[in-house]
Amino acid sequence: MNHHLTNKVALVTGSSRGLGAAMVTKLAENGAKVAINYINNEQGAQKVKNAVIAAGGQAEIFRADVTQESGVANLCKEINRVFGEIDILVLNATCHHRHLSIEELTWADMLEMMDYFVKSPLLLAKELLGPMKRKKWGRIIHIGSEAFELGMPEFSNYVAAKGAQLGLTRSWASELAPHNITVNLIAPGWIPTEMHRDAPESSIREYVENLPMKHMGEPYDIAAMVAFLASENAKFITGQKISVNGGNTFV
Ligand SMILES: NC(=O)c1ccc[n+]([C@@H]2O[C@H](COP(=O)([O-])OP(=O)(O)OC[C@H]3O[C@@H](n4cnc5c(N)ncnc54)[C@H](OP(=O)(O)O)[C@@H]3O)[C@@H](O)[C@H]2O)c1
């Protein structure tokens, strides 16, 4: 399905691999100029860029730590110079998540997650809202997680930060609706990516057995929803959490 994103500029944070790589590929297929962001994996980012260009799309890679003020400011300036003002912001980047019991958790573990799912969205939104408000058009898409609805144990640093991200989504949606800027959150189910490389086969089997659809999702399931929410087709949808998880949750 073509969502007609021609002339739109999209930034997907953390798009050198995993779900983010699928998102930039899908947005580019729909005509957007895509900014591929990474922190360490230049080779991965380059590979994603090459694939987008080979398919006839427009892409460039940008190294930046999206949890740091200076990284975010430079990133936005560079994208602006190369492609123009950013219309579509997808807040996707993440570090590796560790499962920790309450006794093991430190405040630093909590803050690490908040840096990714609250601080980084705030820094980016502050950079990008000016042009979006002036153009009276913008899309902010948070990538949350079903972990918040499931209240997964020994994962409260991640679950709490993903809950906070949903809070940002709802408050920003109300604040920005008069400016024709929509803010939504996609909550993926478990979609194995590089960060799950150590996950035992038995965990995947158990997850699938309990899933109404009885099979794992793919990165493109999430990417398709990103492209839809970024488009005019979704112009009257804001402040929503959309679960893409094969029916694993009903909210
Ligand atoms: N996959 C799932 O099952 C699943 C389920 C629910 C929710 N989610 C959410 O979906 C999002 C993507 O997950 P994923 O599985 O695709 O993750 P992933 O495969 O681990 O990819 C993480 C991406 O973030 C980048 N990154 C890490 N730290 C960064 C920083 N400080 N600045 C800029 N980029 C940074 C990485 O860049 P480098 O390659 O350079 O390291 C990489 O591109 C996350 O928000 C995650 O919580 C995922």
Q: Among 15, 16, 19, which residue has the most ligand 1 atoms within 8 Å of its CB, making it the best to mutate?
A: 19
- For residue 46, CA distances in Å to 16, 21, 90, 227 come to 8, 11, 19, 22
Distance (Å, rounded) from C-alpha 123 to C-alpha 125? 6
CATH number at residue 100: 3.40.50.720
* Other CB atoms within 10 Å distance of the CB of residue 121: 23
Query: 185: domain range?
Result: 9-244
Question: Is the Cβ–Cβ distance between 212 and 246 less than 8 Å?
Answer: yes
191 lines ligand 1 (CB under 6 A): yes
In a domain, 230, yes or no: yes
In a domain, 109, yes or no: yes
What is the reported pLDDT for 251? 82
Distance (Å, rounded) from C-alpha 114 to C-alpha 88? 22
Amino acid at 59: A
pTM metric for this prediction: 0.98
- E runs forming strands in the chain: 9-12, 33-38, 58-63, 88-91, 138-143, 181-188, 241-244
In a domain, 250, yes or no: no
Closest approach atom of ligand 1 to CA 143: 45
Closest approach atom of ligand 1 to CA 191: 3
* Residue closest by Cα to atom 23 of ligand 1: 14
In a domain, 19, yes or no: yes
User: Which candidate, 151, 148, 226, 220, places its Cα nearest to that of 184?
Assistant: 226
Per-residue pLDDT of the chain (251 residues; tens, 9 = 90+): 677 999 999 999 999 999 999 999 999 999 999 999 999 999 999 999 999 999 999 999 999 999 999 999 999 999 999 999 999 999 999 999 889 999 999 999 999 999 999 999 999 999 999 999 999 999 999 999 999 999 999 999 999 999 999 999 999 999 999 999 999 999 999 999 888 888 899 999 999 999 999 999 999 999 999 999 999 999 999 999 999 999 999 98
What is the reported pLDDT for 1? 61
User: Which candidate, 237, 242, 239, places its Cα nearest to that of 221?
Assistant: 242
How many domains does the chain divide into?
1
